Amino acid sequence: MSTALMSDIPFVEARHSGRKQRPKVVSLRLTETTSKHGAAMGIARYWNASNSPIESCHYVVDEELTLQCVPVDKVAYSSKFDAKGTISINVCAFPTFDVNEWLDTERAEALDNAAKLTARLSKAHNIPIRYVDLLDHRRIFSRGGIMVNVRGSWPTHTFLTKVEAYRS
Protein backbone atom coordinates (compact mmCIF):
# COMPACT_ATOMS: atom_id res chain seq x y z
CA MET A 1 0.00 0.00 0.00
CA SER A 2 1.31 3.44 -0.91
CA THR A 3 1.64 6.32 1.49
CA ALA A 4 0.95 10.03 1.22
CA LEU A 5 3.48 12.34 -0.44
CA MET A 6 3.44 14.52 2.66
CA SER A 7 3.00 12.75 5.97
CA ASP A 8 0.68 15.47 7.34
CA ILE A 9 -1.93 14.80 4.62
CA PRO A 10 -4.24 11.86 5.40
CA PHE A 11 -4.31 9.11 2.76
CA VAL A 12 -7.62 7.49 1.82
CA GLU A 13 -6.72 5.19 -1.04
CA ALA A 14 -8.89 5.27 -4.14
CA ARG A 15 -9.75 1.87 -5.54
CA HIS A 16 -8.59 2.77 -9.03
CA SER A 17 -5.23 4.12 -10.17
CA GLY A 18 -3.05 3.54 -13.19
CA ARG A 19 0.56 3.05 -14.15
CA LYS A 20 3.62 4.94 -12.98
CA GLN A 21 4.11 8.57 -13.94
CA ARG A 22 6.41 11.52 -13.39
CA PRO A 23 4.39 14.67 -12.54
CA LYS A 24 4.72 17.76 -14.73
CA VAL A 25 1.31 19.43 -14.41
CA VAL A 26 -1.08 20.17 -11.53
CA SER A 27 -4.67 19.97 -12.75
CA LEU A 28 -7.58 21.48 -10.80
CA ARG A 29 -11.27 20.82 -11.26
CA LEU A 30 -14.42 21.30 -9.20
CA THR A 31 -16.31 18.48 -7.50
CA GLU A 32 -19.66 20.23 -7.95
CA THR A 33 -20.40 19.76 -4.25
CA THR A 34 -20.42 22.06 -1.25
CA SER A 35 -17.09 23.30 0.09
CA LYS A 36 -18.09 22.62 3.69
CA HIS A 37 -16.11 20.35 6.00
CA GLY A 38 -16.80 16.69 5.21
CA ALA A 39 -17.19 17.06 1.45
CA ALA A 40 -13.61 15.91 0.78
CA MET A 41 -14.00 12.86 3.03
CA GLY A 42 -17.28 11.94 1.33
CA ILE A 43 -15.63 11.97 -2.08
CA ALA A 44 -12.56 10.03 -0.86
CA ARG A 45 -14.81 7.35 0.68
CA TYR A 46 -16.80 7.15 -2.55
CA TRP A 47 -13.60 6.47 -4.54
CA ASN A 48 -12.52 3.92 -1.90
CA ALA A 49 -15.80 1.95 -1.95
CA SER A 50 -15.87 -1.55 -3.42
CA ASN A 51 -18.52 -0.49 -5.97
CA SER A 52 -16.84 2.79 -6.96
CA PRO A 53 -16.69 3.68 -10.67
CA ILE A 54 -13.34 3.85 -12.44
CA GLU A 55 -12.69 7.39 -11.28
CA SER A 56 -10.15 8.89 -8.91
CA CYS A 57 -8.07 11.96 -8.22
CA HIS A 58 -4.75 12.44 -6.45
CA TYR A 59 -6.09 14.97 -3.92
CA VAL A 60 -9.43 16.37 -2.82
CA VAL A 61 -9.80 19.55 -0.73
CA ASP A 62 -12.68 21.24 1.06
CA GLU A 63 -12.79 24.25 3.40
CA GLU A 64 -10.99 22.38 6.21
CA LEU A 65 -9.49 19.14 4.92
CA THR A 66 -7.00 17.97 2.31
CA LEU A 67 -6.89 14.25 1.50
CA GLN A 68 -4.66 12.27 -0.82
CA CYS A 69 -6.32 9.38 -2.65
CA VAL A 70 -3.78 8.28 -5.28
CA PRO A 71 0.04 8.36 -4.99
CA VAL A 72 1.44 11.13 -7.20
CA ASP A 73 3.75 8.66 -8.93
CA LYS A 74 0.67 6.86 -10.34
CA VAL A 75 -1.92 8.02 -12.88
CA ALA A 76 -5.36 8.92 -11.47
CA TYR A 77 -8.58 8.55 -13.46
CA SER A 78 -9.66 12.15 -13.12
CA SER A 79 -10.60 13.79 -16.42
CA LYS A 80 -10.33 13.22 -20.14
CA PHE A 81 -8.04 16.28 -20.23
CA ASP A 82 -5.64 14.86 -17.65
CA ALA A 83 -2.88 12.74 -19.11
CA LYS A 84 0.07 10.84 -17.76
CA GLY A 85 2.23 13.28 -15.83
CA THR A 86 -0.70 15.09 -14.18
CA ILE A 87 -1.35 15.51 -10.46
CA SER A 88 -5.09 16.07 -10.13
CA ILE A 89 -6.74 18.11 -7.38
CA ASN A 90 -10.50 18.15 -6.90
CA VAL A 91 -11.63 21.36 -5.22
CA CYS A 92 -14.91 20.89 -3.37
CA ALA A 93 -17.08 23.69 -4.78
CA PHE A 94 -20.07 24.27 -7.00
CA PRO A 95 -19.36 26.18 -10.21
CA THR A 96 -20.18 29.88 -10.06
CA PHE A 97 -20.19 32.67 -12.59
CA ASP A 98 -19.52 35.31 -9.91
CA VAL A 99 -15.76 35.39 -9.25
CA ASN A 100 -16.41 37.23 -5.95
CA GLU A 101 -17.98 34.07 -4.51
CA TRP A 102 -14.45 32.60 -4.47
CA LEU A 103 -13.35 35.37 -2.16
CA ASP A 104 -16.03 35.70 0.52
CA THR A 105 -17.67 32.30 1.12
CA GLU A 106 -16.54 28.85 2.25
CA ARG A 107 -15.15 28.51 -1.28
CA ALA A 108 -12.40 30.93 -0.21
CA GLU A 109 -11.11 28.38 2.33
CA ALA A 110 -11.23 25.56 -0.23
CA LEU A 111 -9.40 27.79 -2.72
CA ASP A 112 -6.78 28.61 -0.10
CA ASN A 113 -6.26 24.91 0.70
CA ALA A 114 -5.92 24.16 -3.03
CA ALA A 115 -3.34 26.97 -3.36
CA LYS A 116 -1.31 25.64 -0.40
CA LEU A 117 -1.35 22.13 -1.87
CA THR A 118 -0.48 23.35 -5.37
CA ALA A 119 2.46 25.30 -3.94
CA ARG A 120 3.77 22.25 -2.07
CA LEU A 121 3.38 20.00 -5.10
CA SER A 122 4.96 22.49 -7.49
CA LYS A 123 7.95 22.83 -5.20
CA ALA A 124 8.32 19.07 -4.60
CA HIS A 125 8.13 18.24 -8.33
CA ASN A 126 9.69 21.39 -9.85
CA ILE A 127 6.44 22.31 -11.58
CA PRO A 128 6.42 25.95 -12.76
CA ILE A 129 3.76 28.29 -11.39
CA ARG A 130 2.06 29.24 -14.64
CA TYR A 131 -1.17 28.29 -16.31
CA VAL A 132 -1.21 25.66 -19.04
CA ASP A 133 -3.91 26.30 -21.64
CA LEU A 134 -6.53 23.56 -21.46
CA LEU A 135 -6.91 23.34 -25.23
CA ASP A 136 -3.20 23.34 -26.06
CA HIS A 137 -2.05 21.35 -23.03
CA ARG A 138 -0.75 18.39 -25.04
CA ARG A 139 1.54 20.63 -27.11
CA ILE A 140 3.03 22.48 -24.14
CA PHE A 141 2.58 19.72 -21.56
CA SER A 142 6.28 18.94 -21.44
CA ARG A 143 7.02 22.42 -20.02
CA GLY A 144 4.67 21.85 -17.08
CA GLY A 145 2.42 24.19 -15.16
CA ILE A 146 -1.06 24.47 -13.67
CA MET A 147 -4.17 23.51 -15.63
CA VAL A 148 -7.66 24.59 -14.53
CA ASN A 149 -10.71 22.76 -15.86
CA VAL A 150 -13.75 24.45 -14.30
CA ARG A 151 -17.13 25.58 -15.52
CA GLY A 152 -17.91 29.17 -14.63
CA SER A 153 -15.46 31.60 -13.09
CA TRP A 154 -12.06 30.95 -11.53
CA PRO A 155 -10.07 33.60 -9.60
CA THR A 156 -7.07 33.27 -11.92
CA HIS A 157 -4.85 36.04 -10.57
CA THR A 158 -5.77 35.48 -6.90
CA PHE A 159 -5.01 31.76 -7.12
CA LEU A 160 -1.57 32.19 -8.73
CA THR A 161 -0.69 34.94 -6.25
CA LYS A 162 -1.59 32.62 -3.35
CA VAL A 163 0.41 29.73 -4.84
CA GLU A 164 3.49 31.94 -5.29
CA ALA A 165 3.20 33.26 -1.72
CA TYR A 166 2.85 29.76 -0.23
CA ARG A 167 5.68 28.38 -2.31
CA SER A 168 8.20 30.98 -1.09
pLDDT per residue as tens digits for the range 24-54: 999 999 999 999 999 999 999 998 998 888 8
In DSSP notation, 111-156 reads: HHHHHHHHHHHHHHTT--SSBPPSTTHHHHGGG-EEEEE-SS---H
Q: What is the pLDDT of residues 93-142, one digit of tens each?
A: 999 999 999 987 889 999 999 999 999 999 999 999 999 876 665 665 66
- Domain boundaries, given as residue ranges, for the chain: 25-159
Domain 25-159 annotated CATH 3.40.80.10: yes
Task: Look at residue 12 and give its three-state secondary structure.
Answer: coil
Query: Which of 116-120, 143-147, 149-153 tops mean pLDDT?
Result: 116-120
The better pLDDT of the pair 2, 80 is held by 80
